[in-house]
Amino acid sequence: MISIFFDDQCGLCSKEIAYYQTITPPGTIEWLAISQHVDALASLNIDLVTALKHIHAIDANQQVHLGVDAFILMWSELPRWRVLAKVASFKPINWLLKMGYEWFAKWRFNRSTHCQIASQDQSFK
C-alpha cells in the first residue's frame, strides 16, 4: 500500500484527490490529509511547509516521492491511469511535467492563505 499526503485545505487539491479516491481499488492507497497528519509527516522528516509545497507519496518501502514522482506512483495504482504513469515516466516528458509542476506548485503555494500562514509560523520550520 502507498500513502498520499495531500493538501486538504486547497479546494483544487481536494477535488482532484476526491476524484482519485472514487476510482482507487481497495487496499492500494491510504489518503492522508496534511492538516490531520502533521505528526505522521514529522515522523518522516517532512515539515508542514514542504508538504504544502508538493504532494508527497510514500511507497511500500517507505521511500518518499514528491511532486510528479508522487503522481506517477499514485497513477500506477489506478485503473486507466497506469498508462499515464508510464508515459509520465518517459524522461523527456517527465522533465517537462516536472517543470510545469514546479511552476504550478509555486504559484498555488504563493496564492494560498493557509500556505502563507504556515510558512510564516516559526513552529513549522
pLDDT of residue 114: 86
pLDDT of residue 125: 42
Number of residues written out for the chain: 125
pLDDT of residue 120: 80
pLDDT averaged over 10-residue windows placed end to end, the chain, 125 residues:
96 95 97 95 93 96 96 97 97 97 94 84 49
- Measured in whole angstroms, the distance separating CA 81 from the mean position of its chain's CA atoms is 16
Phi, psi dihedrals of residue 122, rounded to the nearest 5°: -60, -20
The C-alpha cell that represents 54 in the structure block? 508538493
Give the pTM. 0.91
pLDDT of residue 2: 97
Residues 88, 31 contacting (CB under 8 angstroms): no
| Total Cβ atoms within 10 A of residue 34 | 23
